[in-house]
């Protein structure tokens, strides 16, 4: 094999080494991109304006427990619960999102994003 042929095959090997890991990373990004960070509103009638904080906290705890039962077996993680507002922050996969979309316990679903100050 000539020197030029050796250089070409060396370049080809280098390109393959550089491109294949990038392609593998692209697939990982697609998989990771299917996860969502969400703020989920919960149907908690006890949390109306003027309701006692303790009653609201208990009702929120019960609603979160019910939601977790509904999500059992799906890909989700509770990021944060709140004591005085009927919301829960979740990190979910597609199967958990489908459960949330059809749940009577859920009043709203919003993306959990940091907003710039107004």
Q: Under CATH, to which class is 35-111 assigned?
A: alpha beta
Residue 92, token pair as written in the block: 């979910």
Tens of pLDDT, residues 26-85: 333 334 568 999 999 999 987 777 777 888 899 999 999 999 999 999 999 999 998 888
**Which is nearest to 61 in space by CA: 39, 78, 37, 36?**
78
Residue 105, token pair as written in the block: 């316990």
Query: 107 or 52: which carries more pLDDT confidence?
Result: 107
pTM here? 0.67
Tens of pLDDT, residues 6-15: 444 444 443 3
């Amino acid at each position: 094999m000539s020197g030029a042929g050796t250089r070409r095959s060396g370049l080809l090997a280098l390109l393959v080494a550089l491109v294949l890991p990038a392609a593998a990373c692209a697939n990982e990004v697609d998989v990771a991109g299917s996860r969502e960070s969400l703020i989920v509103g919960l149907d908690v009638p006890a949390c109306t304006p003027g309701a006692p904080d303790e009653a609201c906290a208990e009702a929120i705890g019960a609603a979160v427990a019910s939601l977790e039962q509904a999500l059992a077996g799906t890909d989700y993680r509770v990021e944060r619960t709140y004591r005085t507002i009927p919301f829960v922050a979740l990190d979910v996969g597609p199967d958990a999102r489908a459960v949330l979309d059809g749940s009577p316990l859920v009043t709203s679903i919003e993306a959990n994003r940091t907003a710039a100050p107004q």
